[in-house]
Every structure is written in C-alpha cells, then in structure tokens.
C-alpha cells in the first residue's frame, strides 16, 4: 500500500491497512521505512524512524532531525518527534510505539513523561514487544516530583501576552504556549515559524522531570516542519511566546534560529492571567 505523504494516517485508513487477523504492531513495523523517510541527518547520516499508535486509532510518524553547524543538543530524536507530532495533532494518548532502533536512554526518559507511560508498548527492530517499564526500570518521573499530569493531556494555560489581535504569527505562538507542558517550571512556551511560501508551523515546549530530555518549543516546531517535508533553512520569521519563570528558552532558540535560517527570534513574554 502506498506510503502517505503526510506524517499521519487517519483511523479509517489505519483500519484499511490492517491485515485480516493481524495486529497493529505488524502495520506499525511495516510503516517504519515511511517514518524514516522524514529523517534529516546531515551530521550522523543515521536515519531513525518511529511510528506511534494513538488511542484515537490514528498512526503518526516521527524521524530524527539534525542541523549542520548547530550544537548536537539542537537535535531531535525520532521518538520525541513522533510524540510531538501526535501531540500537535490533538492525540490524547499514545498506546504503542514502533522504532527502527531500540530507544536510547534519553528517549526512554522522555517517553516516561507521557500520561500513558505505565502502559506504553514498544516494538523495536530485532526485539520482541516490550514495555517502557522494562526498558526503564527503577525510573524517575513526574510522580517522583508530585506531578499528576502527563504529556499529551490537553491543557489551556490561558496566558496573558501583549499580542496584537492582527498578529497571526504571534497569536499562533500564544496558542502553542497555552497548550504547552511545563509542570516543573511553568515556563510554558510556544513558537510559530513561517517560511517563504507562507506555511505556518507551531511548536510547544514539552518539559521533562529530569530536565535535560525536555523538548524545546523551537525543536518541536522544526520537527513539525520536517514532518511536512518543509525546509527549515527557508524559515523567514519566528515568534516565541514564553511564560516568565525560572527557566527560559529565549537565548538558545535565538542562537539556533541564527545557525539554521539566519533570522532573528521575535520574543513575547507572557504571564498567567490574573483571573485564574
């Protein structure tokens, strides 16, 4: 069956791909080359693809993303990409994940942030089915910090930001910040990017209990661009909306945008609404 152009397969089309008597992991494994085709790997040349199955019945693709001339920390792993893809498309829960290679330690920690972490099935090349709990024993996660929420649960932080109602790009960034996940610092952040063709892509900050596998808003948006097969070097404008707090992505995002597209970052500081 043909590979879809988008990094997403709607539930009815997933059902059509299911062989009689087959299981979803068969379909997911067959789709891994499609997911890998979205990889952009100018540094390593090592393409990784991931396919996620959502509670909605949809399938999502993700792939790794690297930037020549930028720090390795600007990279996005395929597992992060596929989680972000499902999240931006409104998926409420990821039930299973297939990956071309066994998830690295960084990604196991990132996946532990999912609301569904304790029931997430993982299928990786050359291995039988496993669970995240098997891959990440004696884990540290949100519950250890008293956080009950999880990544992919819908949110609306209702941030207040000085954004002109006609400023569509900043409004898109504010919407992304409102839906962000930052239960540890509450520095919810969103970014909106546009390119020469007028495409608008947003990204949300996804924080992690261990801090370092957090997915910055810019990386989330850049990954979303590559999953639409858009060139990140063609970005012409970028706006970040970020809630003030003990952490900030402003300088890292500005430096990365200069390295990737040679453009400045427009930054808008937000705050919680007083009526909360």
In the bound complex, what is the minimum distance in angstroms from residue 122's beta carbon to Zn ion?
12
The nearer residue to Zn ion, 70 or 171, going by C-beta atoms, is 70
Residues ≥6 apart with Cβ < 8 Å to 275: none
Provide the mask over 25-64, with x wherever binding to Zn ion is found by CB under 5 A and - wherever it is not.
----------------------------------------
Phi, psi of 206 (to 5 degrees): -120, 105
CA distance 49 to 249: 27
Selected binder of Zn ion within 107, 115, 174, 210 (CB under 5 A)? 107
In the bound complex, what is the minimum distance in angstroms from residue 24's beta carbon to Zn ion?
22
DSSP assignment string, 152-197: TS-----EE----TT-HHHHHHHHHHHT-B-TTT---EEEEEEETT
Q: Are strands 235-243 and 49-54 parallel, antiparallel or unpaired?
A: unpaired
Can residue 77 be called a binding residue for Zn ion (CB under 5 A)?
yes
Q: Which of 49, 79, 100, 265 is nearest to 173 (CA)?
A: 265
CA distance 14 to 214: 30
Query: Site for Zn ion (CB under 5 A): how many residues?
Result: 4
The nearer residue to Zn ion, 52 or 177, going by C-beta atoms, is 52
Provide the mask over 166-205, with x wherever binding to Zn ion is found by CB under 5 A and - wherever it is not.
----------------------------------------
* Cβ-contact 56, 43 below 8 angstroms: no
The nearer residue to Zn ion, 62 or 190, going by C-beta atoms, is 62
Q: Are strands 121-124 and 8-9 parallel, antiparallel or unpaired?
A: unpaired
In the bound complex, what is the minimum distance in angstroms from residue 98's beta carbon to Zn ion?
14
* Cβ-contact 103, 52 below 8 angstroms: no
Selected binder of Zn ion within 10, 43, 104, 255 (CB under 5 A)? 104
Which residue stretch of 94-102, 104-112, 184-192, 260-268 sits at the interface with Zn ion (rule: CB under 5 A)? 104-112
Can residue 108 be called a binding residue for Zn ion (CB under 5 A)?
no
**Three-class secondary structure of residue 74 per DSSP:** helix
Given the residues 6, 30, 79, 242, select the one marked as catalytic. 79
93 is catalytic: no
Which residue stretch of 52-60, 100-108, 119-127, 268-276 sits at the interface with Zn ion (rule: CB under 5 A)? 100-108
Site for Zn ion, rule CB under 5 A: 77, 104, 106-107
Q: Which residues are catalytic?
A: 79
């Amino acid at each position: 069956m043909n590979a879809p152009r988008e990094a997403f397969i709607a539930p009815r089309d997933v059902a059509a791909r299911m062989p009689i008597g087959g299981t979803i992991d068969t379909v997911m494994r067959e789709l891994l080359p499609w997911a890998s085709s979205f990889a952009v790997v100018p540094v390593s040349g090592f393409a990784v693809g991931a396919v996620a199955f959502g509670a909605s019945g949809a399938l999502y693709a993700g792939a790794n993303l690297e930037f020549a001339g930028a720090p390795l920390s600007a990279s996005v792993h395929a597992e992060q990409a596929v989680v972000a893809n499902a999240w931006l498309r409104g998926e409420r829960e990821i039930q299973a994940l297939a990956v071309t290679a066994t998830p690295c330690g960084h990604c196991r920690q990132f996946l532990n942030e999912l609301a569904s972490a304790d029931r997430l099935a993982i299928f990786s090349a050359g291995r039988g089915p496993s669970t995240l709990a098997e891959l990440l024993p004696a884990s540290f996660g949100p519950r250890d910090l008293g956080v009950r929420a999880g990544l992919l649960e819908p949110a609306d932080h209702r941030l207040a930001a000085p954004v002109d109602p006609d400023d569509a790009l900043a409004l898109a960034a504010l919407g992304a910040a409102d839906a962000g996940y930052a239960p540890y610092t509450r520095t919810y952040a969103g970014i909106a990017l546009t390119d020469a063709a007028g495409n608008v892509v947003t990204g949300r900050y996804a924080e992690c209990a261990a801090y370092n596998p957090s997915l910055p808003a810019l990386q989330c948006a850049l990954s979303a661009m590559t999953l639409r097969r858009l060139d990140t070097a063609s970005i012409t404008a970028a706006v970040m909306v970020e809630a003030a707090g003990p952490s900030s992505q402003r300088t890292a995002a500005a430096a990365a945008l200069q390295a990737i597209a040679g453009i400045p970052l427009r930054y808008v500081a937000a705050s919680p609404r007083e009526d909360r």
